Amino acid sequence: MKYKDMTNPPDLSLSTGTGPQQRQVPVYEDYLPPCNHACPAGENIQSWLDLSQAERYEDAWNRLLEDNPMPAVHGRVCYHPCETSCNRVNVDGAVSIHAVERFLGDLAFENGWKPKIIGEKSNKQVLIVGGGPSGLSAAYHLARLGHQVEIRDAGPIAGGMMHFGIPSYRLPRDILAAEVKRIEDMGVTITLNHKVENLKTEKEEGNFDAVFVAVGAHIGRSVEIPININSDTLDAVTFLRDIGMGNTPKIGKRVAIYGGGNTAMDAARTAKRLGAETMVIYRRDRKNMPAHDFEAAEAIEEGVVFHWLRTIVELDEDSQVKVEVMELDNNGRPQPTGTYEILKADTVILALGQNIDSALLKTFPEIEVESDGVVAVDEQMMTAVHGVFAGGDMVPSARTVTIATGHGKKAARNIDAYLRNTQYQQPLKSHIVEHKELNLWYNTDADQSEQPAIPPEQRNQTFEEVLGGLSQDEATYEASRCYSCGNCFECDGCYGACPEGAIIKLGKGKFYDVNEALCTGCTACTLQCPTAAIHMVEKTINIT
């Protein structure tokens, strides 16, 4: 007997069976959990949560590292779209995936766990330009696959925007440094204070077999505003970079941040910690701002004042900031009203986005560079030049640490295939399980674990880390809240539900099988399956 998808089922008038669905039979097939699907780094989240709830923490960490080399970083700075997609959101709150990830990352430091090298040594050399999240991710995965890797970075410290863009109250520098060191310990060479000016020359002189360009967006965008010569302005990227370098700029007592993205929130919260009265000026409302809402909420808790629906039209002497009141049209776009207000600020910090310095690519005229510095790549993340790949901020995409890390992994797998004269085949995506497909007969309310945090009235005066981590018991409990959407966890629900004894237990870790001679197609097993790991499919009969 053969099975096929339920679309266009054949005529089964000759089939036998006594159940109401006798033309269908159950099959076991793992579906894709929504958290896995939403993760920009492509983590198998459900798998390492399962290992965590079984207290197999090192195994969970190793499973995590198959996709993401910096869990202690991501557990702190990722905006965790996996949790937004978690089916438990519909019940009592998403699984706190980022908190368990952070727990595993920190536990690895405590126990000195080491990642595994899985590939055969290739004697191939890869140059990576940029030591940010994408470059570090690619370096890790390439080293893990057996290649020699060198990162060349213009900065004095590895980490890119993780070090120079994310404030230390979100990402402690010792955590980042420890993640970077582990990658170095795998044999990756990191050359600092080395700005690559001519990519073609460095590739040829270094005898590199492939190149991955992952230069971060370090150039702040400007805007045409009439500015009095005495007015102080900074761009947010430079401001945060100076802080990351330990060079605190003079910003005065009153600071205005112009912009509504996550960088604007970081700049505002940083200025507040430097003792300034801080406000954010943004031309849309809170609902339409690009920053994640919890970032705005935390800034407000810390005393940052927001002026929504305002745009700066002039910076004058005596610290005067002239703004025009805006209103949103039917498409949510801000429109001028002709009404003006005067605000006071000693310094205005512009947080209007970033561009990339792509001058190093000029020796490859076939690579087209857009005005903001991004380049086009194909499905293998290769540019128009054979053997030159690009990712992270260099390519069109949203700019987050986790997306950049995912780019590094994808590029590494394609570079590995290129170096070995093969082609990497992306695994096919399965059906994504929705909440309505689950049969949560066993469910009980289990509220999300809460991470400890410094009170707002204290944290706006210090650069100490705001959020604390979960204890081992809390992390294990949190991992156990996972529904295992789409994947069998051997609960025996199907086995107990089958009235005909057609479900066969194959032993722990081997799951189940179906005795087709006994199965009547009654669907009791699928109605009992909590995870939607069993599906009824149309059966066909070969008639000879």
DSSP sequence for 448-498: PP---B--HHHHTT--S-SB-PPPHHHHHHHHHT---TTS-----HHHHH-
Residue 63: what pLDDT? Answer: 97
| Residue 302 falls inside a structural domain | yes
Residue 229: what pLDDT? Answer: 53
Write out pLDDT tens, residues 449-484: 999 999 988 998 899 999 999 999 999 999 999 999
Q: In angstroms, rounded to a whole number, what is the distance separating the alpha carbons of residues 511 and 509?
A: 6
Residue 22: what pLDDT? Answer: 65
| Residue 501 falls inside a structural domain | yes
Contact residues for 382 (Cβ-Cβ < 8 A; gap 6+): 388, 389, 414, 418
| Residue 196 falls inside a structural domain | no
**325, 354, 383 - which closes a domain:** 354
| Residue 508 falls inside a structural domain | yes
Write out pLDDT tens, residues 272-327: 999 999 999 999 999 999 999 999 999 999 999 999 999 999 888 778 899 999 99
Q: Is 273 helix (H, G, I), strand (E, B) or coil?
A: helix
Indicate the pTM of the whole model. 0.89
Per the structure, the count of domains in the chain is 2
Domain of 10: which CATH number? 3.30.70.20
> How is residue 421 annotated by DSSP?
T
State the residue for tokens 């018991």.
473
All residue ranges of the chain with pLDDT < 70 are 1-22, 222, 224, 226-231, 540-544
Domain of 264: which CATH number? 3.50.50.60
| Residue 228 falls inside a structural domain | yes
Q: Which domain holds residue 231?
A: 220-354
| Residue 513 falls inside a structural domain | yes
**354, 381, 404 - which closes a domain:** 354
**354, 373, 401 - which closes a domain:** 354
| Residue 514 falls inside a structural domain | yes
Rg value, the chain, Cα:
27
| Residue 95 falls inside a structural domain | no
